[in-house]
Structure 1
Amino acid sequence: MNIEKFEMLYEGKAKKIFKYNDEEVIIYFKDDVTAFNGIKKDSISGKGKINKKITTFFFELVEKEGIPTQFVKDLDENSFIAKKVEIIPLEVIVRNYTAGSFCKRYGVEKGIKLENPIVEFSLKDDSLGDPMICENVILSLNLVEKDVLEKLKEYALKINEILSKFLTEKNIILVDYKLEFGKYNDKILLADEISPDTCRFWDKDTMDSLDKDVYREEKGDLIDKYTEFLRRIDI
């Protein structure tokens, strides 16, 4: 389908959002890949359709377990139709192992399994570099109500249980990941994507990355690793 005939509502680093009708949008996954808040950027053919396929798979998986999502139905290789949500201006980060910015922030080595999952928040604002933000500041700035904040944490930890269980069976470690949520008719829905762009996945035996760290750290071919992840989860 030629989605360019639809009105584009928003373009981000990795996706475009088009108006489908008054209640729904088209989410189109681009081949663009970025790192370090857009400082490093390339276009890698085939990346978009892989991330779209993984996202729809995981959205359907968590939906079956009681997590409401914005996903409606597939459209084509790079796109799906989704409920039009008002994005909550927070990124919800769940960490099961130490990695990335967490190690730099606290001076700890990579790969330590955390005793309990950690839920963190960052302010969704590219111009500020998506800074970390604590719950007290979130509430003081009235970014969301307290009950919404609690629901975000509840959903994030439930998603963590679902994905960790599934991936463990595939010999994959769910290291950490970022989630976004939106409001739809006063209901909170999981939005955006769950993919190797927004998660860290490690092979359980080798601890090799199956995610965007391959691109960030120039550790191999990104498409090869994303394709391997697809194969490992049997989709």
Structure 2
Amino acid sequence: MEKKEMLFEGSSKRVYATDRESLLLLDFKDDFLDHNGAKKTRIPGKGEINADIAGFLFQYLENYHVPTHFIERNSGSELLVRKLKMIPIEVVVHNVVSAKLAQRFRLDEGQHLDFPIVEYYLKAPRLGSPQINETHAMALGYAKADDMRAMGRLASKANAILKSLFDRRGLLLVEFILEFGSAGDHVCIGDEITPDNCRIWDKRKNRKLDRERFLQDLGGAEKAYRELCDRLTRAM
């Protein structure tokens, strides 16, 4: 598989074309960036850790018949994935009250929710990435009704599968973000599932093992990422 030109660069990865039109390479970066891009640091090896975690979780979901864009783990910090027509909506699933959710609803951080909360956000930074509902998405042409139903169903199924996995590893899946795209008529999970876009805590101590260690100046981000990768990917 030949890597071609870079198509896109985001805060956590670069996306490259390949010599096959239907396939892309995701190359995860070693950088940490805050939400505004004002705060930045680099941890050697972070990209490879995230590629390991994303590849493992995508394959785990595929094993339970949850479709994703994942094809295979490449060397270094790369994943080979299917090219999707992305839907410009982020789906956020909350299982435990995170700091942001606590602030929005005046709840206690760490409170377990009786039922998962599923939220939709438009991927439009120029508009402030507003929260939307299904009727916004359909009325404004961002997604079809069938797409929204598929996204909600797959997000709920992925959440149940991943929560169970994390629980067996002594971890809490506090919240996570999914993005979706279509390959032909089928909707599947795209983008990434890593500690950059998930909130993951140690179940016993509520110790954060994700990007919040960088954002909240908690220290130990590299150690936390490596620990998380080891705990997730060890033999079943």
Q: What is the DSSP-based 3-state SS (H/G/I as helix, E as strand, rest coil) of the residue aligned with 1:73? A: strand
* 2:56–2:233 CA contact under 8 A, matched in 1: no
Q: What is the DSSP-based 3-state SS (H/G/I as helix, E as strand, rest coil) of the residue aligned with 1:27? A: strand
Bigger Cα displacement from structure 2, 128-137 vs 111-120: 128-137
Superposed displacement of residue 128, structure 1: 3.2
Q: Counterpart of 1:98 in structure 2: which amino acid?
A: V
Deviations 1:177-217 (A, max 9, x none): 00011111121111111111111111111000011110111
CA distance in 2, matches of 1:223, 1:213: 12
Partner of 2:15: 17
Q: What is the DSSP-based 3-state SS (H/G/I as helix, E as strand, rest coil) of the residue aligned with 2:223? A: helix
* 1:37–1:129 CA contact under 8 A, matched in 2: no
Partner of 2:144: 145
CA distance in 2, matches of 1:198, 1:48: 13
CA distance in 2, matches of 1:69, 1:37: 29
Partner of 2:222: 223
CA distance in 1, matches of 2:153, 2:161: 13
Bigger Cα displacement from structure 2, 86-95 vs 182-191: 182-191
Partner of 2:52: 53
* 1:33–1:41 CA contact under 8 A, matched in 2: yes
Q: Within 5 Å, which residues of 2 pair with 1:87-126?
A: 87-126=86-125
Q: Determine if the alignment matches structure 1 residue 177 to structure 2 residue 176.
A: yes
Decide whether aligned partners of structure 1 residues 130 and 100 sit closer, same or farther in structure 2, where only a CA change above 3 A counts. Answer: farther
Partner of 1:75: 74
Identity of aligned residues (%): 34
CA distance in 2, matches of 1:39, 1:130: 18
TM-score (norm 1): 0.94
Q: Counterpart of 1:121 in structure 2: which amino acid?
A: Y
Superposed displacement of residue 33, structure 1: 1.3
Q: Counterpart of 1:104 in structure 2: which amino acid?
A: Q
Bigger Cα displacement from structure 2, 123-132 vs 98-107: 123-132
Gaps of 5+ in 2: none
Aligned residue pairs, count: 233
Q: What is the DSSP-based 3-state SS (H/G/I as helix, E as strand, rest coil) of the residue aligned with 2:204? A: coil
Gaps of 5+ in 1: none
Q: Determine if the alignment matches structure 1 residue 195 to structure 2 residue 197.
A: no
Superposed displacement of residue 2, structure 1: 8.8
CA distance in 2, matches of 1:234, 1:82: 20
Q: What is the DSSP-based 3-state SS (H/G/I as helix, E as strand, rest coil) of the residue aligned with 2:160? A: helix
